[in-house]
């Protein structure tokens, strides 16, 4: 086993409908999610048998057993019988509490790294099963392309090639305020408010199917996030800014996942400096902003 570096992309939920709460406490969803060119980098090197350790360049990131990278390594060992050791080094760029899937992407990067470095102990189906045990967002990161997620997120299907081509390369601005939003809190609020926040499954499926079937439909026609209701009610800075960006610049902006990160789809020739300035003016200089493209 030698050293290896794996890119761990952020994801955007271009479409996210929560269709109801399950008996096991999870929520069912229908989502079109896409990875982007921006993300973290995870490096792994061999260590003594049984040793698993993690370092990170962001001191705010926990590097103990609560981190999904180490949880992924433990799950890999259980699934394969691997008794080796590894030291992980995480270059963290995806902000936490953002709804961009950073922790899940890092976990999948760890699985992919160990699988490669140990000669492919897990096949694709078993890899997806192990990833699903780590978090609902994890399986989508095994695909590397836009996908439709169903169930609690573990059922992943690649988006039809023609529809994926309409997303590939789209320029996007991702921005996040200094505060994050807890995913358990967001889902808890949705459950407390009941059916008002849920979009029936057939309506969600029809929305996605209509967009996929229309070869002239731009990505802007797909955008929806059913979790914005509970987030925007408490964190009013989010809808205030998104509304301003639409009025002033005509951009289509949404929240990703449970937030607090948002994104705006941009035309290739659209200037971005004034948009960034408006974000900083609204949310302060500490706001996170990065420009990237959908992969």
DSSP track, 194-247: GGGG---HHHHHHHHHHHHH-TT--GGGT-EETTHHHHHHH-THHHHHHHHHHH
| Helices vs. strands in the chain: H and E counts, helices first | 9, 11
Q: Which of 11, 71, 92, 176 is catalytic?
A: 11
Vertex 85 angle, CA 82 and 87, to 5°: 135
269 given a catalytic annotation: no
Distance CA 28, CA 20 (A): 5
- Cα–Cα distances (Å) from 261 to 122, 173, 182, 241, 276, in that order, read 33, 10, 12, 12, 14
Vertex 8 angle, CA 222 and 162, to 5°: 35
Q: Which of 28, 40, 137, 176 is catalytic?
A: 137
28 given a catalytic annotation: no
Q: Which residues are catalytic?
A: 11, 137
């Amino acid at each position: 086993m030698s050293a290896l570096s794996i890119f761990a992309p952020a994801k955007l939920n271009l479409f996210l409908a929560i269709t109801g709460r399950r008996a096991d406490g999870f929520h069912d969803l229908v989502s079109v999610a896409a990875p982007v060119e921006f993300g973290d980098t995870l490096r792994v090197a061999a260590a003594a048998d049984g040793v698993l350790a993690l370092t990170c360049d962001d001191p705010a990131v926990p590097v103990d057993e609560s981190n999904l990278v180490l949880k992924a390594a433990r799950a890999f060992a259980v699934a394969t019988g691997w008794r080796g050791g590894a030291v992980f080094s995480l270059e963290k760029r995806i902000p936490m509490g953002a709804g961009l899937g950073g922790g899940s992407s890092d976990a999948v990067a760890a699985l992919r790294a160990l699988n490669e470095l140990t000669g492919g102990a897990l096949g694709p189906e078993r890899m997806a099963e192990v990833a699903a045990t780590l978090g609902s967002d994890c399986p989508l990161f095994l695909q590397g392309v836009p996908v439709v997620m169903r169930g609690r997120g573990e059922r992943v299907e690649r988006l039809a090639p023609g529809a994926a081509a309409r997303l590939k390369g789209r320029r996007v601005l991702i921005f996040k305020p200094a505060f994050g939003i807890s995913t358990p809190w967001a889902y808890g609020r949705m459950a407390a408010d009941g059916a008002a926040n849920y979009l029936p499954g057939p309506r969600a499926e029809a929305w996605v199917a209509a967009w996929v079937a229309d070869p002239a439909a731009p990505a802007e026609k797909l955008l929806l996030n059913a979790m914005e209701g509970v987030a925007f009610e408490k964190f009013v800075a989010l809808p205030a800014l998104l509304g301003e960006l639409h009025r002033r610049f005509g951009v289509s902006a949404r929240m990703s996942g449970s937030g607090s990160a948002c994104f705006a789809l941009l035309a290739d020739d659209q200037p971005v400096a004034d948009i960034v300035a408006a974000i900083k003016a609204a949310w302060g200089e500490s706001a996170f902003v990065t420009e990237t493209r959908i992969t």
